[in-house]
Structure 1
């Protein structure tokens, strides 16, 4: 019995360490960005309880920042709900992309997984699942670690909100793109991925400087993805 318990403990520790290692780039991004959200939410006048509850129950960075901005401008509840719903429609695409790897999961397991699915955890899981690694316990641990980092960042922001007048000089807005760069590096497998990534990044920057506004990311992504498909056809 002791040997079985010891084996299970070793197995759990191994899975935990693997989850922590894979979630580390997300944690390094979520802590400062969650901190920024906590400060902004409190500056907007949202109560401490609601600020933290939003990170616990909503757990969607872009939606939370949008909600804070709309609340600050006096928007109605209906406007906030509709806007955040539209912003989060991308989760349909992310879920569809991962669904072939989750066919054997139960409905409750899928519900628990989808609740904590974010852009960042999607990037990690898409790589894991493509490599044949769909361990449920490790998947949930990665998600939980990511949300814990976001909530901790939020709490730190709430605590520090009375001491900080302006978060812009702190450069916290760089944390999110830096995190995505780190996640992108982990997904690079050959030279074509580097080519597509560099061209897409340069194109997005050029479109932004050319006045495309927030559409620069969507347009560059579509062109970059199309280029990736063409390069894949040529290579095969």
Structure 2
């Protein structure tokens, strides 16, 4: 008796709707994060249109936050290179995420496979891979889950920019602390013990020292490399 062949990989409207429905419980968190980015962008001088372009074309919340932290109105080749390296490093995980989807999305025509990857984000990647692991084969699930995330992210960042831009003194409402607070919140769940204490401590000390010695935002790259090396030695 022959086993039934799996259904061909396609993008269907039903799959898109299924993916969108699966993401709704996560959208409040995405909206809050997006609004925080928009408010911080307003304080950096971004207009609503510039904020929308950043969110619509880049669509990478963590990288956008990193870029915002390093944003300046006096650009130099060194500062541009540092910012490019920072965002590249932050987004390197997307190479692995996209590669893990190749056995599935690779069966689509090229324009559909690569086009759908424009909606790749951490939350919809995890949901789509879980759906596929349980036998789902409709690539529309991935597209739909990414599409709704993109729409909510775009709208919430613009809303945050409009609200944040109308606050005359952002420090009075601690809006200037949004980006540092976000990164601290990202660190806390990853605490596992001594290895993190060593690597984080070294990264903090080296980056602070480098900020006084090296112009631009290279201190972030230098601190990250130092922390990674310290963490590696701490394991030995």
Return the TM-score normalized by structure 2: 0.65
Give the aligned partner of residue 142 of structure 1.
145
Once the two structures are superposed, residues 127-179 of structure 1 have per-residue CA deviations (whole angstroms, 9 ceiling, x without a partner) of: 0111121313332111110101101110110111123722359xx849x86xx
Runs of 4+ in 1 over 6 A off after TM superposition: none
- 2: CA distance between counterparts of 1:54 and 1:47? 11
- 2: CA distance between counterparts of 1:159 and 1:111? 33
Deviation at 1:125, TM superposition (A): 1.1
The verdict on how the C-alpha distance between 1:96 and 1:12 changes in structure 2, with shifts beyond 3 A counting, is closer
Check whether the contact 2:63–2:91 (CA below 8 A) recurs between aligned residues: yes
Greater helix proportion: 1
Partner secondary structure for residue 82 of structure 1 = helix
Number of equivalences:
183
* Structure 1: segments with no counterpart, 5+ residues: 1-10, 182-200, 224-236
Give the aligned partner of residue 19 of structure 2.
19
- 2: CA distance between counterparts of 1:15 and 1:121? 12
Give the aligned partner of residue 63 of structure 1.
63
For residues 87-98 of structure 1, the aligned pairs below 5 Å read 87-98=90-101
Give the aligned partner of residue 49 of structure 2.
49
The verdict on how the C-alpha distance between 1:209 and 1:134 changes in structure 2, with shifts beyond 3 A counting, is same
* Structure 2: segments with no counterpart, 5+ residues: 1-11, 204-223
Partner secondary structure for residue 71 of structure 1 = coil
The verdict on how the C-alpha distance between 1:74 and 1:87 changes in structure 2, with shifts beyond 3 A counting, is farther
- 2: CA distance between counterparts of 1:122 and 1:13? 18
For residues 57-136 of structure 1, the aligned pairs below 5 Å read 57-72=57-72, 74=74, 76-136=79-139
- 1: CA distance between counterparts of 2:120 and 2:194? 30
Deviation at 1:89, TM superposition (A): 1.2
